[in-house]
């Protein structure tokens, strides 16, 4: 057991938690990050110098103007 409370798509190594890219390209965010972002939240993805950053850009509800 890796000490991550059964989270799917996460691994622990050398005291660090890592998100894992699934075969379909999805990445499951850990609960402590996911909290403020409900399902349907839109993010832009920035890839600069080998570093990937997710920037929240709203939710589907916000995108519909509601």
pLDDT tens readout for residues 53-64: 999 985 454 444
Overall domain count for the chain: 2
Q: CA 15 to CA 31: how far, in whole Å? A: 17
Residues 41, 26: one domain?
A: no
Q: CA 66 to CA 47: how far, in whole Å? A: 30
Range of the domain at 3: 1-31
CB 55 within 8 A of CB 47: no
**What does pTM read for this prediction?**
0.56
Residues 60, 41: one domain?
A: yes
pLDDT of residue 66 exceeding 60, the answer is no
């Amino acid at each position: 057991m890796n000490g991550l409370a059964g989270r799917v798509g996460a691994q622990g190594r050398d005291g660090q938690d890592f998100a894992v890219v699934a075969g379909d390209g999805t990445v499951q965010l850990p609960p402590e990050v996911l909290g403020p972002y409900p399902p349907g939240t839109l993010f832009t993805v920035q890839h600069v110098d080998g570093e990937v950053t997710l920037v929240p850009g709203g939710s589907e509800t916000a995108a519909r103007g509601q």
